[in-house]
Structure 1
Amino acid sequence: MKLQDAFFAERNAAGSFALIGYSVPTSTNFTYAGAIAAANTATSATEKAWSANNLVKLNECTPGESGTPNWTIKVTPGAPTSAASAGITYEAKVGGTDGSCLSLTPNFTAIDGTID
């Protein structure tokens, strides 16, 4: 988020992993993805701007279905012409049935908020 915040402050847009300097972790237990294509930016809301999905069952948290990862962050860049909405907003969501994945990462949804 710090990288995305800094990028937004300079460009008034959300940037891809490559543009903001984020190195995607490698793991045999998780896959990570970003919805903003390499070398691109987004000036409107982007679902699954960052996502992670478990490849193996973790306690009661089963792997998400194809295209439906268990952990996602939506980014919404504010309009650069409006001081009231000039920040970037993050919305974190945790999948899984009956909160089974939320119990693994109870603080993940604390990412929600607007950074000015």
Structure 2
Amino acid sequence: MKLQQAYISEAVAVGNWVIIGYSGPGTANANKLGSSATNFTYSDDGSYNGTTNTAALGATAINGWSATNKANLNDCPAGKNWTVSVKASESGTAGEAAFTAAIASANTAGCTPLTPNFDKVGK
């Protein structure tokens, strides 16, 4: 999130993983917008302009990061269970963003014990 916030403060736009210089844990995908490790697949799920690799920073949240567990982890079923989205801060100041970390609502009970403070990331 620090890389994304630094990019946003300069460009007043959200950048994909490549343009902000982020690489996820494990082995990067060919397009470098994702990575894979033993237990998780990580990805940049944002909708970006293919030419600039950016998206307008606005009131609509952009999913910039997700983690998908490849197998069940105790009571947490396999699937995309962790996400971080970004949108313009409600303060209205240009270049300020609000990040929201969330655990999939359908799997909150099973996945929250694995990352009890995940929803506080970025706050």
TM superposition score normalised by structure 2? 0.75
**What's 1:11 paired with?**
11
Distance 1:30 1:56 in 2: 8
Query: Offset at 1:46?
Result: 3.6
Distance 1:74 1:11 in 2: 18
8 Å Cα contact 2:82/2:103 also seen in 1: yes
Unaligned runs of 5+ in 2: 27-36
Distance 1:70 1:30 in 2: 10
**What's 2:54 paired with?**
41
Query: Offset at 1:112?
Result: 4.9
**What's 1:31 paired with?**
41
Q: Which residue identity does 1:92 align to in structure 2? A: A
8 Å Cα contact 2:8/2:95 also seen in 1: no
Unaligned runs of 5+ in 1: none
8 Å Cα contact 1:8/1:77 also seen in 2: no
Q: Does 1:91 align with 2:100?
A: yes
Cα RMSD between the aligned structures? 2.2
Q: Which residue identity does 1:9 align to in structure 2? A: S
Distance 1:86 1:8 in 2: 5
**What's 1:56 paired with?**
71
Secondary structure in 1 matching 2:63? strand
**What's 1:73 paired with?**
84
